[in-house]
Structure 1
Amino acid sequence: MAHATHHEDTDSQFYKNADTFFSDNARVGLTFDDITLATRYSEILPRLTKVDMRLSEQLVLNIPLISADMDTVTEAEMAAAMARNGGLGIIHYNMPEKRQIREVAKVKNDVHGLIQEPIAISPESHIADVLEMIEIRGFKFHTFPVVDIQNKLVGLLRGRVVKSRYRGVKVADAMTPLEQVFTIQESDIADDPIGAADRFFNDHMGIHKLIVLDKGGHLKGLFTMSDIERIREEESRDVKPSRDASFQLVCGAAISATRTPAGELDRDRILEHASNLVSEGIDALAVSTAHGHSAGVGDVVKLLRGEFKDLSLIAGNVTSAEGVEYLSKCGADAVKVGQGPGSICTTRIVAGVGIPQLTALYVCSKAAEKTGTAIIADGGITKSGDIVKALTLGNAVMCGSLFAGCREAPGSILEINGKLFKQYRGMGSLTAMKAGSAARYGHESHAKKSDKVAAEGIEALKEVSGSLDDTLRQLVGGLQSGMGYLGASNLAELRSRARYIRVSPAGQRESSPHDVVELKTTKED
């Protein structure tokens, strides 16, 4: 035992826990490449580690990764893919409010188990009405139950007749009548809804919709075969999708601190937009600006918390303990930390402010421990090792650059000299602010006067990197490897077992491949 104690004492002279390490470096701003983590005794296999985290009382994610609310990163396709992989996507607000609501609806209607409140239509409507609803709501499906004014099922309008050529036809004349519609009683699925639906589709080849009724024939729900098949496929995966209580994919959306022409907070408009998002089933609202420790952000968080008691609220960005305490008191469940660490952000250069990300995370994490607030590390993540380091201090990581090249990210693909790229821009870039994000940087009144706007971001290109599934697999795998090296079975243990040491410039170079010619392998290899 004396021998073991000697080694422990020796280690403690070099590798420090968070409090001691950052206290020793109190006057130095540090970021990810400035430190490395010491390995610890481990009995933990990386593949057996748990990486789920609680963002709020209502919202649990199965991986601690969130896609950034940027207009070249997260819209419906990215948000749905993030949720299917266990994370969360935050749909940006650099678009008309109605379109953002449609983007949320696309995610929430992506895959269901039992669709408990299926969209139904009246037999007195026309196909033109149905086409208009599909366009407004952004539905991917074109098949709808048909119900009377008592919500009793009278038929099924199938997608094959929902065509422009039939716009003038009444639903009653185009629908499949009730006696030809496959239904099941609510009481027959009570014990195992998914299993009951799975057995039905196995027994009825070629049937793709199953409608659930109560004893009185009232519409109570809907199963689709494609949803059941995807659910069964998901059950075999190591990482489970992030879903809400209704089995819908989780989705977040950013919201702006909108102001009236007089400069006052436009409370009515903010609440109306938030209410519409909540009606679509939104799981988290993010009040995102470059300077979150401000009266405007605090007022919006207070407004939303007062109206939506149980809604998960994210606010930011801050880099100080005061900022975390302020937003927590206003009602935020989670606070985003980061000012200037992003690859396309120039806030530190333009405004001369911002704290290197690892130091900012430590300072903010100490305040979060007191307030019970979750910390989201937003920006500066370039590799899976950075995620490991960030999660020794925070609860989740928000990424933009790492996801911007994925095929699920918005934007067209460009080919330059035989390579494929996607546009990636900071929300503080001139083009992004012209498109609507100026309020994020305090320039709303000058949004259409670009010569008076101080840009805090650049426009760039990201090489196309394939699917988000593959990217997340690599990132989560790297996170689990790091946890294995520290002997941490979950993220709480990762934080408690982390030991830090500063790295010299030579040590940074040593950390990367060096003194070799690296071979690039192809997918075929």
Structure 2
Amino acid sequence: MSTHSDLCDLDGVSASDLFKRELGLTFSDVIILPGFVGFGKHEVDITSKICKRFSLRVPFASSPMDTVTEAKMAIAMSVSNRNSTKYNQGFILSPVVVSPRQPVYDIIEIKRKYGFGGIPVTEDGNMGSRLVGLVTLRDVDFLDPNDFNTPVEKVMTPFDDLVTAFSGVTLSEANDLLRKSKKGKLPIINENRELVALIARTDLKKNQDHPLASKDSENQLIVGAAISTQERDFDRVDALVNAGVDIIVIVSILYF
């Protein structure tokens, strides 16, 4: 059996040699020796294969425990490590939309609930309907509370004053147009002026600030969710898949 004195006489051992020895070690017994590397840090790849279809461009992810990764942690991970969907996107395919007849109060409530205020206005308030304008918080910031029942069409920027792009535009082209226009939102429409997507300037800025993004084929950040092996979680799987989750982690806790 190896002894502690055997290790003290060595100028370092390899990891494989270390774990072959029948000797218990603590963290304080081990020092990682510095060594020469013949490459730059920009060549280091810390990508982790998380499953067959997806890789993360970070070496770790937060724990799939409800006491560790709640909503705020998932958002924080998406900002720093970029492995959460929906919080940052390329083409927003299901944006919040309002109709011109809705009250301004609804815009304020959308800001309170979702955290943004640039909202497309379509004829019937649905995605895929004809675009008639765009309303932002700047349009309603200084309204008296007594005027919160004012229809959105009275304060919105009308279609003729909007910068838009046609369906089929690439994400790169759309981002260039958004950057040059200095607008906060870029609606994407088809030949019938129907809204098909939206691009947000805030997402463009986040992409610049956090370039290490783990994205899917639709340029959305990938997201995972954890479930237990209990039957009560079966319905959660359906709900998660319908919500667009990319990875499902099955967690089984063993008791000893």
Superposed pair shares fold, TM > 0.5: yes
SS at match of 2:236: helix
Q: Do the aligned partners of 1:83 and 1:243 also contact (CA within 8 Å) in 2? A: no
1:249 CA displacement = 2.9
Report what 2:129 is aligned to.
151
Identity %: 26
Q: Deviations over 1:144-183 (max 9, x none)?
A: 1122355221222322438893553444444332222221
Opposite residue 221 of structure 1, the aligned amino acid is A
The 1-side partners of 2:26 and 2:245 are apart by 33
Is 1:63 the counterpart of 2:58 in the alignment?
A: yes
SS at match of 2:114: coil
1:76 CA displacement = 3.8
Q: Do the aligned partners of 2:110 and 2:117 also contact (CA within 8 Å) in 1? A: no
Q: Deviations over 1:301-330 (max 9, x none)?
A: xxxxxxxxxxxxxxxxxxxxxxxxxxxxxx
The 2-side partners of 1:195 and 1:234 are apart by 20
The 2-side partners of 1:284 and 1:271 are apart by 15
The 1-side partners of 2:54 and 2:137 are apart by 35
The 1-side partners of 2:246 and 2:27 are apart by 31
The 2-side partners of 1:29 and 1:55 are apart by 31
Is 1:179 the counterpart of 2:155 in the alignment?
A: no
The 1-side partners of 2:235 and 2:15 are apart by 50
| RMSD, matched Cα | 3.8
Using a 3 Å threshold, how does the CA distance of structure 1 residues 133 and 84 change in structure 2: closer, same or farther? closer
The 2-side partners of 1:184 and 1:126 are apart by 27
Match of 1:278 among 238, 241, 249: 241
SS at match of 1:141: coil
What stretches of structure 2 of length at least 5 have no aligned partner?
1-9
Using a 3 Å threshold, how does the CA distance of structure 1 residues 277 and 32 change in structure 2: closer, same or farther? farther
SS at match of 1:67: coil
Report what 1:52 is aligned to.
47
The 1-side partners of 2:187 and 2:246 are apart by 27
The 2-side partners of 1:69 and 1:228 are apart by 29
More helix, by proportion? 1
Using a 3 Å threshold, how does the CA distance of structure 1 residues 164 and 288 change in structure 2: closer, same or farther? farther
Q: Output the TM-score relative to the length of structure 1.
A: 0.38
Report what 1:142 is aligned to.
117
What stretches of structure 1 of length at least 5 have no aligned partner?
1-10, 89-106, 259-264, 292-350, 354-525
Q: Do the aligned partners of 1:142 and 1:158 also contact (CA within 8 Å) in 2? A: yes
Q: Do the aligned partners of 1:87 and 1:241 also contact (CA within 8 Å) in 2? A: yes
1:72 CA displacement = 6.0
Is 1:115 the counterpart of 2:87 in the alignment?
A: no
Using a 3 Å threshold, how does the CA distance of structure 1 residues 108 and 174 change in structure 2: closer, same or farther? farther
Is 1:216 the counterpart of 2:192 in the alignment?
A: yes
Report what 1:477 is aligned to.
none
Q: Deviations over 1:62-108 (max 9, x none)?
A: 011112245664334432332344364xxxxxxxxxxxxxxxxxx64
Using a 3 Å threshold, how does the CA distance of structure 1 residues 31 and 119 change in structure 2: closer, same or farther? farther
SS at match of 1:17: helix
Report what 1:228 is aligned to.
204
Q: Do the aligned partners of 1:80 and 1:251 also contact (CA within 8 Å) in 2? A: no
Opposite residue 285 of structure 1, the aligned amino acid is I
The 2-side partners of 1:181 and 1:147 are apart by 13
Report what 1:17 is aligned to.
16
Q: Deviations over 1:460-480 (max 9, x none)?
A: xxxxxxxxxxxxxxxxxxxxx
Q: Do the aligned partners of 1:84 and 1:242 also contact (CA within 8 Å) in 2? A: no
Is 1:81 the counterpart of 2:76 in the alignment?
A: yes
1:21 CA displacement = 3.8
1:303-318 equivalences under 5 Å are: none
Report what 1:290 is aligned to.
253
